[in-house]
């Protein structure tokens, strides 16, 4: 039966599904994964767990209770899974037998539990529990019902919110969660047969990214014991005995992430280095540290900029069964790939094992030849698949297929150009979804955040919406973007608003030269975060745009230094240590605001602690004061992550405001 196609609308956001975190069972027969949907009436999200056969012949939902079921981990025998769920008493650990029956709650911790993992013998479950600084793990009173506990917690939170807060450490707030209560995650071990548990770590520092040794004797983790330090770039690596005792320092630099043991127990693989991560191997007791990616120019993880994924999970290196190789997710030129690195350090070249014009945002490796993938393409929001050594790939789900069959979506075209100082720059063009020969179309220049993210082959609802409204969208990866090597990544340091903005202007000019249907007299611009900074900066340099949207922006680096949740560490890195007042002001759009003539819509979330609201307020006030055409959209109950994790209705309203503002100011030909 044929399907009548229609154009993309902002409201299509309500119908998207986001599959994520596929995990292969130890016996290799199944994949468990999360799927997040929008609950339009409740204006929130729901995440449930699904089980699929690796042959693609069947899948089923595993959980239906609670709004959030996440972090599933397989028992070593593949017969059970543990996961965290908010179905009662906050976020607790639950156990589900795949033979049937209801999930059983395992824990009753006062502040919940997360980051679950099993002991190799299946007798213990480990996890991280929030603990008040210097105190022991607290339990919920056994006499309280879940409802009574929820009411007690709400009273506690109101009391805390309405009271004075006193801090003596630097990084006391965090975007998305607000002012910090001094709770730190600590490691606990739960004996499944008896239900008894033990607290294995204590202190005023956060235990992060735990991983157990194959003999079950140790748990490695990252932590930053400097209370005035920041975990922007990771922490030191420690290990603690599962039988008790003080943690032992293994790796002293405070920039390590995601340690994981080799199956033979000899090694720990991890990522390290500030911002542009590299892959390392060290002995499981510390020992010699060797870079496995010294000859590999690209960084690790998922740096793709899109408005689709509901949540991004850190992904540790994954070992082959024989400990001879480590598999890692890498960001390269608008694509994410799974790359194999030999651990012998014998000079063997890294090998790309899964690639393509897509964004892989999570994978699971069985240690032999099969991988499970969660990925997006430029025309599909997200799907789950398995692939094997012979290259055959099998879809395990039908997420989004019915919706996408109804929509007319645009396929991007990739192009390249050369910067003024010789860098090769990647660009993309998304054509209007309805075009007529001989017609010219207005252009939207879209600028990504970061700056160390990248545009690539991932579905971007905002861009498709503009294409559906008759715009051609130009989006570029200027210097500072991930995916093009460390020198390119670092080229923006100390030069914000310098050659990076020329990369954007030159890329726009190249697109207009290449594509004669682009109307060079009708160009708008938008950007978020660093992209918002760059919109503000461009408006002080040129009047070439007929309208602009600046979201979650930066206008004044001086005030940003003292108010952002990630500063001063972020700015000390990005400004190459030059954070004196004169330098910060020179790079601030606010210093040049008198030059702004372009109609501007500022969008900012009220609870944005990354690029605080005052950044937009300052720019708005000065432009308004000088008689400029400027509007200010303040989004309540949202953080800097509005683009991906804001309330659905607010995300739709944001899209409608952007398109409406630009369309209203679109000049007639």
Q: Each residue of 58-99: pLDDT tens digit? A: 899 999 999 999 999 999 999 999 999 999 999 999 999 999
CA dist., res. 501 & res. 478, Å (int): 8
Rounded average pLDDT over 484-504: 97
Nearest to 262 by CA among 280, 236, 274, 235: 280
Band of pLDDT at residue 312, cut at 50, 70 and 90: confident
Q: Each residue of 629-667: pLDDT tens digit? A: 999 999 999 999 999 999 999 999 999 999 999 999 999
At 653, give phi and psi (nearest 5°).
Answer: -60, -40
Residue 2 pLDDT more than 70?
A: no
Q: Containing H/E element for 148? A: helix 146-162
DSSP strand pairing (30-39 vs 17-24): antiparallel
Residue 231 pLDDT more than 90?
A: no
The strand pairing partners of 352, in sequence order, are: 339
Contact by Cβ (8 Å): 440, 500: no
Answer with the residue of higher pLDDT: 274 or 597. Answer: 597
Band of pLDDT at residue 204, cut at 50, 70 and 90: confident
CA dist., res. 669 & res. 616, Å (int): 32
CA dist., res. 144 & res. 142, Å (int): 6
Domains and CATH numbers, the chain: 409-664 (3.40.50.1820)
Residue 1 pLDDT more than 60?
A: no
Rounded average pLDDT over 619-624: 99
| Residue 617 confidence (pLDDT) | 99
Rounded average pLDDT over 166-172: 90
Mean pLDDT of the chain: 95
Rounded average pLDDT over 303-315: 88
Answer with the residue of higher pLDDT: 473 or 2. Answer: 473
Q: Please, what is the angle between helix 461-468 and helix 648-664, to 10°?
A: 40
CA angle at residue 577 from 575 to 578, to 5 degrees?
A: 70
Rounded average pLDDT over 213-225: 96
Band of pLDDT at residue 348, cut at 50, 70 and 90: confident
Per-residue HEC secondary structure of 426-457 comes to EEEEECCCCCCCCCCEEEEEEECCCCCCECCC
The least confident of 10-24, 300-314, 448-462, 483-497 is: 300-314
Percent of the chain with pLDDT strictly greater than 70 = 99
CA dist., res. 17 & res. 403, Å (int): 10
Residue 248 pLDDT more than 60?
A: yes
Q: Each residue of 406-432: pLDDT tens digit? A: 999 999 999 999 998 999 999 999 999
Residue 230 pLDDT more than 70?
A: no
Contact by Cβ (8 Å): 83, 125: no
Rounded average pLDDT over 258-263: 98
């Amino acid at each position: 039966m044929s399907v009548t196609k229609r154009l993309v609308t902002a409201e299509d956001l309500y119908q998207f599904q986001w599959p994520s975190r596929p995990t292969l069972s130890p016996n290799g027969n199944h994949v468990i994964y999360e799927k997040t949907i929008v609950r339009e009436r409740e204006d929130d999200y729901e995440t449930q767990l699904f089980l699929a056969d690796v042959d693609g012949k069947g899948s089923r939902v595993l959980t239906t209770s609670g709004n959030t079921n996440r972090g599933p981990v397989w028992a070593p025998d593949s017969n059970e899974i543990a996961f965290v769920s908010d179905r009662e008493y906050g976020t607790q650990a639950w156990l589900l037998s795949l033979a049937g029956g209801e999930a059983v709650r395992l824990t009753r911790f006062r502040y919940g539990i997360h980051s679950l993992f099993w002991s190799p013998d299946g007798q213990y479950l480990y996890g991280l529990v929030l603990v008040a600084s210097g105190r022991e793990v607290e339990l919920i009173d056994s006499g309280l019902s879940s409802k009574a506990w929820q009411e007690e917690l709400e009273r506690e939170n109101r009391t805390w919110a309405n009271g004075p807060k006193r801090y003596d450490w630097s990084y006391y707030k965090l975007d998305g969660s607000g002012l910090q209560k001094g709770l730190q995650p600590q490691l606990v071990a739960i004996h499944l047969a008896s239900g008894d548990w033990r607290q294995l770590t204590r202190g005023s520092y956060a235990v992060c990214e735990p991983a157990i040794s194959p003999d079950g004797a140790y748990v490695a983790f990252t932590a930053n014991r400097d209370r005035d330090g920041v975990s922007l770039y990771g922490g030191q690596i420690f290990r603690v005995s599962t039988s008790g005792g003080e943690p032992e320092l293994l790796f002293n630099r405070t920039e390590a992430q995601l340690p994981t043991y080799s199956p033979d127990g000899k090694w720990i693989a991890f990522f390290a280095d500030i911002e542009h991560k590299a892959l390392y191997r060290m002995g499981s007791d510390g020992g010699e540290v060797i870079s496995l990616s010294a000859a590999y120019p690209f960084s690790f993880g998922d740096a793709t900029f899109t408005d689709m994924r509901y949540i991004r999970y850190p992904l540790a290196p994954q070992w082959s069964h024989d400990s001879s190789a480590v598999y890692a997710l890498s960001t390269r030129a608008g694509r994410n790939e799974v790359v194999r690195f030999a651990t012998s350090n014998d000079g063997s070249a890294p090998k790309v094992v899964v690639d393509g014009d897509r964004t892989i945002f999570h994978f699971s490796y069985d240690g032999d030849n099969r991988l499970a993938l969660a990925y997006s393409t430029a025309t599909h929001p997200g799907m789950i698949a398995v692939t094997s050594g012979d290259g055959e790939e099998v879809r395990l789900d039908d997420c989004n297929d019915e919706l996408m069959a109804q929509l007319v979506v645009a396929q991007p075209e990739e192009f390249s150009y050369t910067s003024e100082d010789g860098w090769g720059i990647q660009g993309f063009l998304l054509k209007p979804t309805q075009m007529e020969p001989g017609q010219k179309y207005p252009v939207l220049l879209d600028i990504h955040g970061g700056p160390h993210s990248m545009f690539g082959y991932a579905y971007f609802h905002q861009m498709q919406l503009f294409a559906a409204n008759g715009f051609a969208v130009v989006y570029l990866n200027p210097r500072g973007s991930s995916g093009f090597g460390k020198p390119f990544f670092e080229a923006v340091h100390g030069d914000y608003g310098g050659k990076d903005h020329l990369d954007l202007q030159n890329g726009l000019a190249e697109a207009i030269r290449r594509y004669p249907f682009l109307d060079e007299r009708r160009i708008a611009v938008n950007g978020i975060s660093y992209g918002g900074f760059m919109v503000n900066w461009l408006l002080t340099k040129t009047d070439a745009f007929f309208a602009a949207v600046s979201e979650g922006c930066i206008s004044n680096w001086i005030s940003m230094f003292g108010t952002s949740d990630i500063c001063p560490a972020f700015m000390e890195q990005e400004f190459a240590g030059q954070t004196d007042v004169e330098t910060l002001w020179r790079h601030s759009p606010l210093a040049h605001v008198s030059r702004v003539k372009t109609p501007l819509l500022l969008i900012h979330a009220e609870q944005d602690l990354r690029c605080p609201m005052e950044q937009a307020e300052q720019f708005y006030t000065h432009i308004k004061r000088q008689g400029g055409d400027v509007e200010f959209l303040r989004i309540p109950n949202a953080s800097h992550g509005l683009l991906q994790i804001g309330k659905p209705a607010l995300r739709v309203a944001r899209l409608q405001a952007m398109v409406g503002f630009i369309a209203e100011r679109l000049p007639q030909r």
